[in-house]
């Protein structure tokens, strides 16, 4: 019996999916994702109405950047259970990755309707709205995200990025500083704060932040940005 099936005997489908998905993403990577997808295939074959199995298989597919395959699984999960906010949120992420921005915004909005306290859904919608130059809506979403979760580092960073777009450099520095206060080892926040300071004419402050970002591992910066919403 496979590891996945053993877990399925002792835990609920939802919790089992969380255990397996986290194990794959955190410890094993893409190779193991494929192996666990095979286990989910078997589970779905034996129980085609298991919405969680489709959902977690979709997450694994998204983890290996099979976004279309992920969306197909999310669609099936929603067909079985349309009241699960997480699946709309994750489908929104997948749609963003295939540049279906309108569909992504719609999915994040549905996730928020199902769970009005869903800070990550507000943050996700804010990201897409910013990418579509819907700045007022993006700002409202980031504001709501940090209102719901005052320790939401990524939302502060994203709001800071938006404020740079709006040329509100002092306000951007404040947001990055809030992120750094929560997570002093956040290289992205330090790097971006350096950018805001540079745009303000504070070359010394910018250099200090950039050097700190390098010390914190700036080489992981682009990797961090690319993987957050896949």
Q: 222's torsion region: left (phi>0), alpha (psi -120 to 50) or beta?
A: alpha
CATH architecture of 83-149: Alpha Horseshoe (1.25)
Is the pLDDT at 120 greater than 50, yes or no? yes
The pTM of this model reads 0.81
| Domain 151-230 of CATH type 1.25.40.10 | yes
> What crossing angle do the helices spanning 30-46 and 13-23 adopt, rounded to 10°?
160
The alpha carbon dihedral of 137, 224, 65, 53 has a sign of negative
pLDDT band at 170 (very low <50, low <70, confident <90, very high): very high
What pLDDT does 166 receive?
97
The alpha carbon dihedral of 6, 9, 13, 19 has a sign of negative
Give the residue carrying structure tokens 């520095």: 173
- Per-residue tokens: 186: 């956040």
Q: What is the pLDDT of residues 7-58, one digit of tens each?
A: 333 234 444 444 334 434 444 445 456 667 778 788 888 888 999 999 999 9
What pLDDT does 138 receive?
98
Is the pLDDT at 119 greater than 60, yes or no? yes
User: What's the per-residue H, E or C state across the chain?
Assistant: CCHHHHHHHHCCHHHHHHHHHHHHHHHHCHHHHHHHHHHHHHHHHHCCCCHHHHHHHHHHHHHCCCHHHHHHHHHHHHHHCCCCHHHHHHHHHHHHHCCCHHHHHHHHHHHHHHCCCCHHHHHHHHHHHHHCCCHHHHHHHHHHHHHHCCCCHHHHHHHHHHHHHCCCHHHHHHHHHHHHHHCCCCHHHHHHHHHHHHHHCCHHHHHHHHHHHHHCCHHHHHHHHHHCCC
Determine the Cα–Cα distance for residues 178 and 181; give it in Å rounded to an integer.
5
pLDDT band at 230 (very low <50, low <70, confident <90, very high): very low
What pLDDT does 218 receive?
80
Q: Do domains 1-80 and 151-230 have the same CATH topology?
A: yes
Q: Let me know: does 79 contact 94? Beta carbons within 8 Å.
A: no
CATH code at 1-80: 1.25.40.10
Domain segments of the chain: what residues? Answer: 1-80, 83-149, 151-230
Question: What mean pLDDT, rounded, does the chain reach?
Answer: 85
């Amino acid at each position: 019996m496979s590891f996945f099936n053993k877990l399925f005997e002792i835990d609920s489908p939802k919790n089992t999916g969380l255990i397996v998905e986290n194990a794959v993403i955190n410890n094993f990577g893409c190779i193991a994702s494929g192996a666990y997808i095979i286990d989910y295939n078997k589970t779905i074959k034996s129980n085609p109405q298991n919405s969680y199995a489709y959902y977690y298989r979709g997450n694994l597919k998204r983890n290996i950047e099979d976004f279309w395959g992920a969306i197909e699984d999310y669609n099936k999960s929603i067909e079985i259970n349309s009241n699960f906010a997480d699946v709309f949120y994750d489908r929104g992420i997948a749609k963003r990755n295939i540049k279906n921005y309108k569909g992504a915004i719609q999915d994040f909005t549905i996730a928020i309707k199902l769970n009005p306290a869903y800070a990550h859904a507000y943050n996700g919608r804010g990201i897409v709205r910013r990418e579509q130059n819907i700045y007022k809506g993006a700002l409202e979403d980031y504001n709501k995200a940090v209102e719901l979760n005052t320790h939401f580092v990524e939302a502060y960073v994203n709001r800071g990025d938006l404020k740079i777009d709006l040329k509100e450099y002092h306000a951007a520095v404040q947001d990055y500083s809030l992120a750094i206060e929560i997570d002093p080892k956040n290289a992205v926040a330090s790097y971006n704060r350096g950018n805001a300071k540079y745009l303000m004419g504070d070359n010394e402050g910018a250099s200090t932040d950039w050097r700190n970002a390098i010390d914190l591992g700036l080489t992981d910066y682009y990797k961090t940005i690319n993987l957050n919403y896949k």
